[in-house]
Amino acid sequence: MLPVVAIVGRPNVGKSTLFNALTRTRDALVADLPGVTRDRQYGISRVGERPLVLVDTGGLVSGAEGIDYLTAHQVHQAVEESTLVLFVVSARDGLTAADEEVAEVLRQKGVPVLLVANKTDGLDADVAVADFASLGLGEAAQVAAAHRRGVEKLMGRVDEFL
9 is an annotated ligand-binding site residue: yes
Residue 32 binds which entry of ligand GDP, Mg ion, none, CB below 5-8 Å type-dependent: ligand GDP
Would you count residue 41 as binding Mg ion (CB under 5 A)?
no
d(CA 61, CA 99): 9
- Coil/strand/helix, residue 46: strand
Stretch that binds ligand GDP, among 41-49, 94-102, 117-125, 133-141 (CB under 6 A): 117-125
Binding to ligand GDP by residue 17, rule CB under 6 A? yes
121 binds, among Mg ion, ligand GDP, none (CB under 5 to 8 A by kind): ligand GDP
Q: Does 85 bind ligand GDP (CB under 6 A)?
A: no
- Region label for 83, one of left (φ > 0), alpha (ψ between -120 and 50) or beta (otherwise): alpha
Which residues in 57-76 contact ligand GDP (CB under 6 A)?
59
Q: Is the CB of residue 105 less than 8 Å from the CB of residue 55?
A: no
User: Are 137 and 103 a contacting pair, CB within 8 Å?
Assistant: yes
> What are the residues facing 113 on neighbouring strands?
85
d(CA 160, CA 162): 6
Does the annotation list 134 as a binding residue? no
Give the interface with ligand GDP as residue ranges (CB under 6 A): 9, 11-17, 30-32, 34, 37, 59, 118-119, 121, 144-147
